[in-house]
Structure 1
Amino acid sequence: MNNQQYDWTIEPQSSLLDLKLKDTWAYRDLLWLLVRRDFVSFYKQTILGPLWFFIQPLLTTLIFTFVFGNLAGISTDGLPQPLFYMAGITAWNYFADCLTKTSTVFKDNANIFGKVYFPRLIMPLSIVVSNLVRFGVQFLLFLIVLGYYAFFTNAQFNATWAISLFPLVVILMALLGLGSGMLISAMTTKYRDLAFLVTFGVQLLMYATTVIYPLSTAIENYPDYAWLIKYNPMTPLIETFRYGFLGQGSFTWFSFGYTALVTVVVLIFGIVIFNKVEKNFVDTV
C-alpha cells in the first residue's frame, strides 16, 4: 500500500455541536501573535501609549465621584467614593471591552477571513486575552489606590475569604463577554445597524449593574426594579469583587452560581452560533 501524506482532507459537514476546540488549540501560536498585534497596533502611534490604561479609569473615577458621589449623593456602603467607583469600573471595563470588540469581529476581519483559513474562534479569543492585559494594568491601579487608603487614611477594609474567588470572577467576566459578543457578531453579519447599537447598549447596561451604586441601595430605594439589577449576571461578579477586596458587597452563593450557569449557557450558544455563521458569513458581510 502506498502511504501518502495529503495537505488537504475532504470531510463531511461537521455537527452543529462541534465546537472545534481541538483545532483552536492547534493554532494557539497564532493566538499569541494576534494578541501582540492588537497591543502594538493600538498604541503604536499614540503619544502616551500604554499610559492610557491608567488615564481612562482615573478620569472615569473622578467624574463618577463628582457626579454620582457629590452631586447625586448616592451611597457607597460607607466605602471611600473613589475606591468604590474604581472597583466597579475596573471590573466593568473588562467585560464591556470583551463584549464590544468581539461583537464586530466578523465585520472588522472580513478581509482576513476571506483569504486564509484558521479557526475563526481564534480571533475573539485573542480579543479577550489582549483585553486581559489592560485589565491587569487597571487592577494594579486599583490595588495602588487601595493601598493608599489603607496606609495613609483612616479607612478600614475587612478583606474577606471571597478574595480567593477573584481568578474565577475574571474568568467568568471574560467568558460572559466572549459568549455575548459572539452572539451579537453573528447577527451583525446580516444586520449592520446592530453594530451601532452595541456601544450605546453597553453604556445603558452599565446603569443596570452595580457599578455606580451598591446592590443594597438599589433594593432599598428601587424595589420595583431591583430584580432587574439583581439578576443581571454582571452584578454578582462586581459585588463579589468588592466584597472580597473591600469587605462590602452583597455576596451569596446562589447569585454567584446563577452567574456561572448563565455564563456557561451564553458561551456554549455563542460558540455554536459563531461556528455556524462563520461558514457562510463572507457572502453577507
Structure 2
Amino acid sequence: MDVHSEEKWTIEIGPHRSVFNIDLRELWHYRDLLLLMVRRDFVAFYKQTILGPIWFFIQPLLTTLMYLLIFGRIAKLSTDGVPGILFYLAGVTCWTYFSESLIKTSDTFISNANIFGKVYFPRLIIPLSVVVSNLIRLGIQVILFLLIFGYYLFFTKENVRPTQALYLLPLLIILMALLSLGLGIIFSALTTKYRDLRFLLTFGIQLLMFATPVVYPLSMAPEKYKWLIIANPFTGIIETFRYAFLGSGSFSWLYLGYSCLATVVILGIGIVIFNKVEKSFIDTV
C-alpha cells in the first residue's frame, strides 16, 4: 500500500472555489493577527513624533478652523443656522475617517505584496485592519467633537439641539466603515493591473469631497444638481450625523436607506473582485 495515500492533512491551503465565498470563520480564526495589524497601524502613526496621539486632535481642529475661515467667513456659505465650528467639525470628522480608510485600503495588494508572497492568511485581514485601526482614530476625534458640542449645548444659547437620531450613530459608523472598505478593496484589486488608478483615487477623493455636503449643507444645493449629490451614498450618512447632534440637516429615511443599500452593493462587488484578484495578483504585482 502506498504510504502517501494514508496521509491525512490537518490544513489544506487552496484558492477559493467561488469568488462569492467569504469565510467568516477563517477571519475569526485569524482575529489575533487582525488585532496585531491594528496595533501596528495605530502605533506606527505617531511613533517617533513629539506630540504623539495629540495629532489626532490637532489635524481635525486645524482643518475645521481653515474651513471656518474660508467657507464660513470669506465665502459665507450657510451652515443651516448652527455654529460654524460644529458644522464643519462634524463634516471633517466623518469625511476624514472615510477618505483615509479608503485611500489606505486601496493600497492593500501593492504595499503588502512581499508579505502575501511568503505566508498565507486571509487577505481581507489587511484592509479590515486599516478600517478598524482608523475607528480608534475616529473615536478620539468624536470625543473632540463632543467636547465642543457640549460647550455649545450647555454654556451658550446657540441653536444646537440633539435629536433621537443619535440612536443611529452606531449604524452610521458601520456604514462609513463598510463603504470605505468596499470601495477600498475594489480599487486595491484594480490597481494590481492599472497602477494609474492610485493617482486617480488620490486626486478623485479630493474632488469627491465637494460632491459631498462636507463644507455646505444639502439644503444649499441647487435643485438642478441636488440629485447628483444625493446619488453619493455618503451624503445620507453625513447629513444624518449632523441632524443627530445638531438638529440641522436634510434627514430622510429614504436617503439613509439608499446609503445602506449602496453600501451593501458596493461591499458585495468589492468582495467578489477582491476574491477573484487575490488568486493571481502575485503574478502581476
Question: TM-score surpassing 0.5?
Answer: yes
Aligned to 1:255: 255
For structure 1, the 5+ residue unaligned runs are none
Aligned partner (choices 144, 151, 156) of residue 154 of structure 2 = 151
Aligned partner (choices 60, 78, 82) of residue 79 of structure 1 = 82
Aligned to 2:190: 187
Q: Residue 239 of structure 1 contacts residue 250 of structure 1 at CA under 8 Å; is this kept in 2?
A: yes
* Closer/same/farther in 2, CA of residues 11 and 170 from structure 1, 3 Å limit: closer
- Secondary structure at 1:224's aligned position in 2? helix
CA RMSD of aligned residues (A): 1.5
Q: Residue 19 of structure 1 contacts residue 272 of structure 1 at CA under 8 Å; is this kept in 2?
A: no
Aligned to 2:145: 142
- Indicate whether 1:37 and 2:40 are aligned: yes
State percent identity of aligned pairs.
Answer: 62
For structure 2, the 5+ residue unaligned runs are none
Cα distance, 1:226 vs structure 2? 1.2
Aligned to 1:27: 30
Aligned to 1:127: 130
Q: Residue 98 of structure 2 contacts residue 180 of structure 2 at CA under 8 Å; is this kept in 1?
A: yes
Q: Residue 109 of structure 2 contacts residue 192 of structure 2 at CA under 8 Å; is this kept in 1?
A: yes
Aligned partner (choices 196, 202, 205) of residue 202 of structure 1 = 205
- 13-22 vs 74-83, which deviates more? 13-22
TM-score, scaled relative to structure 1: 0.95
* Closer/same/farther in 2, CA of residues 225 and 10 from structure 1, 3 Å limit: closer
Cα distance, 1:238 vs structure 2? 0.5
Cα distance, 1:97 vs structure 2? 1.2
TM-score, scaled relative to structure 2: 0.95
Q: Residue 99 of structure 1 contacts residue 178 of structure 1 at CA under 8 Å; is this kept in 2?
A: yes
Map 1:94-133; keep pairs closer than 5 Å. 94-133=97-136
Cα distance, 1:152 vs structure 2? 2.6
* Closer/same/farther in 2, CA of residues 123 and 13 from structure 1, 3 Å limit: closer
* Closer/same/farther in 2, CA of residues 114 and 248 from structure 1, 3 Å limit: same
Instruction: Name the aligned partner's letter for residue 281 of structure 1.
Output: F
- CA separation in 2, counterparts of 1:174 and 1:200? 21
- Secondary structure at 1:55's aligned position in 2? helix
- CA separation in 1, counterparts of 2:238 and 2:15? 44
- CA separation in 2, counterparts of 1:10 and 1:283? 18
Q: Residue 176 of structure 1 contacts residue 267 of structure 1 at CA under 8 Å; is this kept in 2?
A: yes
| Number of residue pairs the alignment of both structures matches | 281
Instruction: Name the aligned partner's letter for residue 273 of structure 1.
Output: I
- CA separation in 2, counterparts of 1:89 and 1:281? 35
- Indicate whether 1:172 and 2:175 are aligned: yes
- CA separation in 2, counterparts of 1:158 and 1:282? 53
Instruction: Name the aligned partner's letter for residue 47 of structure 2.
Output: K
- CA separation in 1, counterparts of 2:91 and 2:100? 14
Cα distance, 1:42 vs structure 2? 2.1
Runs of 4+ in 1 over 3 A off after TM superposition: 2-5, 10-13
| CA deviation profile, 1:190-220 (whole Å, cap 9, x unmatched) | 11121112121111100000100111111xx
